[in-house]
Structure 1
Amino acid sequence: MLNFKIEPVKKDFIDIAWKRLNSLTKPQGSLGRLEEIAARLVGIYEDPMPEIKKKAVLVFASDHGVTEEGVSAYPKEVTAQMVFNMLRGGAGINVLARHAGADVVVVDIGVDYDFGECKGLISKKVVKGAGNITKAPALSGSDAIKCIEIGIELVKEYHQKGYNLFAAGEMGIGNTTPSSAVVSVLTHSQVEEVTGKGTGIDEETFKRKIEVIKRAIKINKPNPSDPVDVLAKVGGPEIGAIAGVVLGCASLKIPVVIDGFISTAGALIAYCINPVVRDYIFASHNSVERGHKIALEFMGLKPLLDLNLRLGEGTGAAIVMTIIEAGLKIYKEMATFDEAGVSKSVK
C-alpha cells in the first residue's frame, strides 16, 4: 500500500508560471514568496491557470498512554473534550478555518473514549489510545500502517468530493512527547535538541519529559532507517494519519499544508518513506517547539510564518491557506505589462 508512485513536480509548469510572474506589472520578484507559492501551485496542479476549489483541514484526534508519566500540563480526558468543542465549532481551528473558507473534518483515530454515534465526527478508531512508550510500543506494526492508510484514503475520498487543498491538523494530549521521539530518531538529533514544553509545562515536568523520551527510545529501539517502525515504536495514531495525508496528497498531485510540531513529525515520516513528497508540502509556520525547526530543516522546508504559535490543531496551516490563495490570486488576476499598457523599463 505504501509503495505507490509519487512523481516529482514538473519543471516545465514551474517555468510557465515564472514566465507569467515576470511579466506582471511589478518589479521582478517584488512580491517575494507569494510568487514562489504561485509557481509551486502551477507545478503541483500541472495547470497554467490552476483553481483552488474546496479546502479541508483534516484534524486527527488520539490519546497517548505516555501521559501516565506526567509529561503534559493537561489530563488525557481533555482530548475527547476538545473533540466535542471542535464539533461544536468552538475551537481555535474552527475560527481560523472559517476565516480561510475551509471545512474542518474531525477524525477519531485513537481517542480513549467511546463517542458512539456522534454527529459530524468521522470514526476511524484504530486503538483506544497509543501505548505508553516507556513500557511498550505505541502501536503494532500493522496498526501503524493502518493509520497511514486511513490518512491516504481520507484524502482520496475528499478529493473525489472536489477538495484540492488540504491541511493536516491534530488533537491529542501528550502528543509532543512521541513527536519529539520521532523527530529525534529520524533526524539523528539529541532528545534535548528536539524537545520543548508543549502546552506550557513547568521546568520539573520538562526535565521528566526529556527523561521519558530517552527511556522510550532506549526500550523500544526504533530503527531510524525504517520510518514505519519509528512510527509504531514511539509515534502515535494521529502522527501516522498525517503521514498518510501527506503521501495521499503527493500521489494525487495536490498541495498539503502542514501545521506545527506534531503535524511536521507526521510529514517527516512521509518524507522518510518517500522524499519526493517534499514537492507537495507547504510548511505553514515555525512553532515555538524547538524540534519543529530541526524537522523542517531536515526536509529542506522553509516556513511561511513565525507567529510564536504552539496550539496545533491545524491553526497555523489554516492561516497559511489564505496566504496561498493570495499568491494564486496575484498570479491569475494581476495584469501583465502588455495588458496594462505599462512600459517595462524607464527610458
Structure 2
Amino acid sequence: MSNAWWLQPCQPVDESVHEQALERQRQLTKPAGSLGQLEDVAVKLAGLQKQLKPCVDNVWIGIFAGDHGIVAEGVSPFPQEVTAQMLLNFVNGGAAISVLARQLNATLEVIDLGTATLTEDMPGVRHERVGPGTRNFAQTTAMTHEQGLQALQAGRESALRAHSAGAHLYIGGEMGIGNTTSAAALACALLNCPVSDLTGPGTGLNPEGVSHKVQVIERALATHAQLPEDPLQRLFCFGGFEVVALVGAYLASAQAGVAVLVDGYICTVAALVATRLNPSCRAWLLFGHRGAEPGHRHVLEALQALPLLDLGLRLGEGSGAALAVPMLRLACDLHGQMATFAEAAVADRAQ
C-alpha cells in the first residue's frame, strides 16, 4: 500500500537531551534513583520533547466510541444503547473522564465512530461514523478493509488536532459495550496466549459469564484460524472501530512527536497492535496504570511496559491515564525545579 501512512517512521528520541536529563537527575539534591519511576519518566519525556526540562501542561484526551457485533453472543451484561448514552454523559460533563478532564484543564473530544444508536442530536460529539457498529467476529471479520482504514484515519486526525493545538501529551480513551471481548480476541490473536489468560469480567460478568465469553472467543479464533499473521488484518478482523482509531491515534502521535499516555486493557491492546505495525512508535508510549482486567498484565508484559499506577481500575474511557497525569506533572516539576547539589551548597556523595 503506497499510502500506508502508519508505516512512516516515528520521530526519533533526542539522545543528547536524554543524556543531559540523566546527568541533571544525578546532580539533584537526593540520593541517585530515590524518586524511582518519577526520575525515569521525566528523563524519558525530556528526550521525547527535546528539552532538558519537559512539561505536560497541555493534555489532549480523545475518546472514541463504537459498538460491537460480538454482543449478539451474550458477552456483556449491558445493552448496546449504553454506548451512545455514555457519549451524552461525556459531553454533558457527568462521566468520570469529564470530571478528570476538567480537573486537569485538558481538552476532551468525543468521537462517534459507529454506535448502534445514532448520536446526531448530541451537541459536542464529533460524528465520524464508519458504520452502525462492527459485525459479529464470531461469524465474519468485524469490519471491511475500507472501514478499518477509515477508523485508522479518524484516530490519526484526532492526534493531528492535538499536535496542532500544541499538546504535550495525548490520551486515548474508548467507549463500546463488548469491547473487552474484542480486545481479548485481538490480544490472543497477536500473542498466542490461552484465551482464559486474557479474558475477564469486563463491565461485570459473573464467573459463568466469563466462561461463556472465553468459549465465544475460542470459537471466533478457530473460525479465523487461517488469517494471515499481518497485524493489520488481525486488527480489522477482531477489533472495534474505536480500537482501530486508538491504533491510528497512537501511531500518528508518535509520528508527530507527541508523547502518548496509554490507558487500560483495551488501549494497551491497541498499543500492542501499534508496536506490531510500526515498532518505532514504542518509544513514545507511556503507560498510565495496570487495571483489574486480568489480561492487562499479560499485554503490559508483552510490551515490557511499567505502568505508573496500580489502583484496581476497570472503568476505561481514558480514566486511568488521566489519573496518572498529576504524577507526570509532578515528575516534571521535580526534575525541573529541584536544586542541584551545587546550587543548594549541599555536599554531594563522595566520588
Q: Does TM, normalized by the shorter one, top 0.5?
A: yes
Q: Return closer, same or farther for 1:232/1:142 CA change in 2, 3 Å cut-off.
A: same
- In the aligned structure 1, how far is the partner of 2:322 from the partner of 2:309? 12
Does structure 2 retain, via aligned residues, the 8 Å contact 1:185–1:224?
no
1:292 is matched with 296
Counterpart CA distance in 2 for 1:101 and 1:26 is: 31
Would you say the 8 A contact 1:242–1:266 is kept in 2?
yes
Q: Corresponding residue for 1:274?
A: 278
Shift in CA distance, 59/145, structure 1 to aligned 2, threshold 3 Å: same
**CA distance in structure 2 between the partners assigned to 1:39 and 1:284 by the alignment:** 16
Q: Which residue of 1 aligns with 2:146?
A: 142
Alignment partner, residue 97 of structure 2: 93
State the Cα distance separating 1:117 from its structure 2 match: 4.6
Distance 1:59 1:284 in 2: 16
Structure 1 residue runs of 4 or more that deviate by more than 6 Å after TM superposition: none
> How far apart, in 2, do the equivalents of 1:222 and 1:286 lie?
32
Q: Is the 8 A contact 1:102 1:318 kept in 2?
A: no
What is the RMSD computed on CA atoms of the aligned residues?
Answer: 1.5
**Structure 2 match to 1:157:** 161
Report matched runs for 1:252-263 at 5 Å.
252-263=256-267
Given candidates 330, 335, 346, the residue that maps to 1:342 is 346
One-letter amino acid of the structure 2 residue matched with residue 331 of structure 1: H
Alignment partner for residue 175 of structure 1, among 168, 172, 179? 179
Does the 8 Å CA contact 1:222/1:230 hold for their aligned counterparts? no
Compute the TM-score of the two structures, normalised by the length of structure 2.
Answer: 0.95
Residue among 191, 196, 200 paired with 1:192: 196
Corresponding residue to 2:76 among 72, 78, 86: 72
Query: 1:37-76, aligned counterparts within 5 Å?
Result: 37-76=41-80
How many residues matched? 347
Range 9-18 or range 280-289, more displaced: 9-18
| Gap change, CA 1:175 and 1:301, over 3 Å in 2 | same
In structure 2, the gaps of 5 or more residues are none
Say if 1:53 and 1:296 are closer, same or farther in 2 by CA, change over 3 A: same
TM-score of the superposed pair, with normalisation by structure 1: 0.96
Tell me if structure 1 keeps the 8 A contact 2:9–2:280: no
Q: Is the 8 A contact 1:221 1:233 kept in 2?
A: no
The CA distance in 1 between the partners of 2:143 and 2:328, in whole Å, is 35
Secondary structure in structure 2 of the residue aligned to 1:27:
coil
CA offsets per residue over residues 283-338 of structure 1, 9 Å max, x none?
11111111111111111111111111101001100011111111111111111111
Matched, 1:108 2:96: no
Q: In structure 1, what is the equivalent of residue 219 of structure 2?
A: 215
Cα distance in 1, alignment partners of residues 228 and 187 from structure 2: 10
Asked if 2 retains the 8 angstrom alpha-carbon contact of 1:186 and 1:227, the reply is yes
Question: 1:130 maps to what in 2?
Answer: 134
